Amino acid sequence: MLFDPTFIAIMVVGMVLGGITTWYIKSTFKRYSKNGLARPATGAQVAANVLRKSNLPIADSDGHVGASAFGKRPVTIARSTQGKLSDHFDPRSNTVALSEEVHDKSTVAAAAVAAHEVGHAVQTAEAYLPGRIRSALAPAFSISSSMAVWLIIGGFFLYGTNAFLGTNLMWLGVGLFAVAVLFQLVTLPVEFDASRRAMVLLRETGTLTAQELPQARKVLTAAALTYVAAALIAVMQLVYWIALARD
């Protein structure tokens, strides 16, 4: 299996796609991190502005909320401690975590990323269905993504001595891997929708000028391509694992 030309080809394609998309998002972010905003606002300020536009309350550093809470769970804006391009939204704590180059900078790239993460906060507040499905799958994904391949490989080598046990072990691994693939597929509409919301909010709040909006879209498109590539690679691997288990 490990020397199967098909398996090797899938691994090579995966590494190439992963490398290209990683390079593309980093280079695009770096490029538009050099473009300061015509209407200066840090990523944290952009996040706060688009949260207000979305009628979502903002918690201060102590977790307190202003007088107008709109009857919704408050969102915290914080610095991410995980390094560059570690921006994310945590639905458990309802926190928009922004990396230093986004939280503290007034650039097109920072504004785009900050608004995108707020898009996820809006999805949570509105109980956006794909987002709810993704959150429900998240615990299973963390387990399946780490165990699936080892079960498949273990079943493959066990097949020679115990065909029944080896086959069932492989199919168990395939099933777990399918859960991981489903998680990545569901992630696509979640990410695309967050970017769509971000562009609408950046325009409606007047955060970006007409010249800056297309630049922000390029940043968000580059980020989306990493999820597309990951999903494509995962589907290719799943098809291969299914073929292997059937043989």
Using DSSP's 3-state secondary structure scheme, residue 139 falls into helix
Q: Distance between CA atoms of 55 and 66, rounded to whole angstroms?
A: 12
Q: Distance between CA atoms of 12 and 50, rounded to whole angstroms?
A: 41
Nearest to 202 by CA among 35, 47, 88: 47
Nearest to 80 by CA among 94, 102, 104, 98: 98
Q: Token digits for 75?
A: 């969102």
Give residue 87's identity as a one-letter amino acid code.
D
Choosing from 100, 101, 117, 212, the catalytic residue is 117
Count CA atoms within 13 Å of residue 70 on its CB side: 15
Q: Beta strand 95-98 with 88-90: parallel, antiparallel or unpaired?
A: antiparallel
Q: Token digits for 26?
A: 């980093």
The answer to whether 152 and 174 are in contact (CB under 8 A) is yes
**Residue 191 bears catalytic tag:** no
- List helix spans (H) across 33-162: 43-53, 100-103, 108-125, 129-158
Quote the distance between the C-alpha of residue 5 and its chain's center: 31
Phi, psi of 176 (to 5 degrees): -65, -40
Q: Distance between CA atoms of 192 and 217, rounded to whole angstroms?
A: 11
Q: Which residues are catalytic?
A: 117
